[in-house]
Structure 1
Amino acid sequence: MSTASSIVPGAEPYSTEGGRTGVLLSHGFTGSPASMVPWGRALAAHGHTVRVPLLPGHGTTWQQMNTTRWQDWYDALEHELLDLRTQCDHVVVGGLSMGGALALRLAALHPEAVDAVVVVNPALAMGDPKLKVLPLLKWVVPSIPAIGGDIAKPGQDEVAYPRTPLKALHSMVRLWSDIIPRLGEVTTPLLFFRAPQDHVVDGQTIELVRSRVGSRVAEFVELHDSYHVATIDHDAELIERRSAEFIAEHVSRDG
């Protein structure tokens, strides 16, 4: 994990104590908690206990991230989930982009610990042809231009890396092949937010989830005024309000 002294300002993790329903939120690939903290604070205002961790290799340098793999990111989230479960009667997991993919894996592997899943523009597949050459390209160049910062609203910053580390990116692509066969094991209530004008993740993921997820309750909401990092974009309030309602509807209320 990153040490506190090495964390880029604005990328710090967020944690707050609340009631007996916990919410674990994960940022995306090369991003940071900055993209999730406003959402986390909004859910905390409803009385929930909230955790927004900083994933290994993030919030420091892209070079450091290139030494981490998807197993490191998942293990950190799994640790947070199991710890949160010891404090709370119910736990909701959510995530943006890669964080959404990790949240779905948590729900598949820990159905006894996850009571609902909320994802925003999750990434499980992309049609970019450059991804096919990653196994070789990652040994030739260490990084390519950044994929972060796809936000329509002016003045917003997810505190993402200025470069995309390719060894880490290739690992994320490998993560997809692990999760897709597990989608049928996701049976908890699912709330899926999708921005059609997302410039990072295309529409393949939503089609995969629609056709394969095992959840009997699966709600899909379009975000018409946001790009990829919708959690801090024009539709942030919609995400915050609808996710709070979804938790109240499908997860036991704090008492």
Structure 2
Amino acid sequence: MPVLPGAEPYHHDGGEIGVLLCHGFTGSPQSLRPWGEHLAQAGLTVSLPRLPGHGTSWQEMSRTRWEDWYAELGKAFADLRGRCSEVFVAGLSLGGCMALRLAEVHGDAVRGVVVVNPSVVGDAPLLRFAPALKYVVPSVPGVAGDIKKEGMTELGYARTPVRAAATLPQLWKLVQRDIGEVTQPLLVFHSRDDHVVKPASVAFLRARLGDNLEVRELTDSYHVATLDNDAPAIFEGSLEFIRSHASVPLTKDL
């Protein structure tokens, strides 16, 4: 199925430090493209894949599961490891959850983690009932486009495929169970006004992780903060985080 214009994956060959960016549920690489380009301009090698079923149609996404999305990220991560001395992982919303899963599974192979409004706790009623609801309705109203900045839009689905959503609780349980394996430095950007992911996810991370966790509050953005008013703070903050935790210099620092 054709990819929507603007939803294409983004890749940039830079220096020895690689960053894998993970977009969110029903979204596309478009929501993280400016972030990726900012990191690329600083000399980093950047990989921003398009997750299966995303950036095409919600009907196609309905035929995919979280395992499909995670497998795509796994391939991109393996590719970065083969080309870079160190790899950081980062993500928005569900992408943040999968970035944490990569850190749990791959240990020291992940140098550090940056997440924006991560979704790790299923506190939305729709998602709790999705495993049963999938037999009743194929889709429900979408969650894309929660942006405060005027004139800015997210390239995401207007409908949420229930069958795909019904697979999320299994991923959340895995991430919650193994969260203690995340010993890498972790930077969390959290929007105070988020109409998609509730505060429970960040509260969970605060309760379970120690001194390796830093949370920075975003006061002028909604859920898709990477396209919102606080985007520059995310871009610069994540770059400084990578620079401070990498053991090799960024290309432009040489």
**TM-score class, shorter:** over 0.9
Q: Secondary structure at the match of 2:178?
A: helix
Preserved contact between residue 120 and residue 192 of structure 1 (Cα < 8 Å): yes
1:182 aligns with one of 174, 178, 181: 178
Structure 1 segment 235-250 matched on structure 2, within 5 A? 235-250=230-245
Q: CA deviation at 1:200?
A: 0.2
User: Any idea what the Cα deviations from partners look like across 1:105-149, whole Å, max 9, x if unmatched?
Assistant: 000000132100000000011422233321211111000001110
Structure 1 segment 105-124 matched on structure 2, within 5 A? 105-124=101-120
Distance across 2 between alignment mates of 1:225 and 1:121:
13
Q: CA deviation at 1:54?
A: 0.2
- In the other structure, the counterpart of 1:234 is 229
Q: Secondary structure at the match of 1:60?
A: coil
1:55 aligns with one of 51, 55, 71: 51
- In the other structure, the counterpart of 1:87 is 83
1:223 equivalenced with 2:215 (yes/no): no
Q: CA deviation at 1:157?
A: 2.1
User: Any idea what the Cα deviations from partners look like across 1:189-237, whole Å, max 9, x if unmatched?
Assistant: 1000000100000011111111223x64221100000000000100000
Alpha-carbon RMSD: 1.1
1:251 equivalenced with 2:242 (yes/no): no
Distance across 1 between alignment mates of 2:140 and 2:147:
19
Q: Residue type matched to 2:183 in 1?
A: T
Preserved contact between residue 61 and residue 161 of structure 2 (Cα < 8 Å): yes
Q: Residue type matched to 1:246 in 2?
A: F
- In the other structure, the counterpart of 2:21 is 25
Name stretches of at least 5 consecutive residues in structure 1 with no aligned partner: none
TM-score normalised by the chain length of structure 2? 0.96
Greater mean alpha carbon deviation, residues 89-98 or residues 123-132: 123-132
Aligned residues: 250
Distance across 1 between alignment mates of 2:193 and 2:58:
27
Q: Residue type matched to 1:219 in 2?
A: E
Q: Residue type matched to 1:18 in 2?
A: G
Distance across 1 between alignment mates of 2:172 and 2:122:
10
Distance across 1 between alignment mates of 2:131 and 2:166:
7
Q: CA deviation at 1:42?
A: 0.5
TM-score normalised by the chain length of structure 1? 0.95
1:36 equivalenced with 2:32 (yes/no): yes
Preserved contact between residue 82 and residue 113 of structure 1 (Cα < 8 Å): no
Q: Secondary structure at the match of 1:147?
A: coil
Preserved contact between residue 23 and residue 48 of structure 1 (Cα < 8 Å): yes
1:66 equivalenced with 2:53 (yes/no): no
2:138 aligns with one of 142, 155, 171: 142
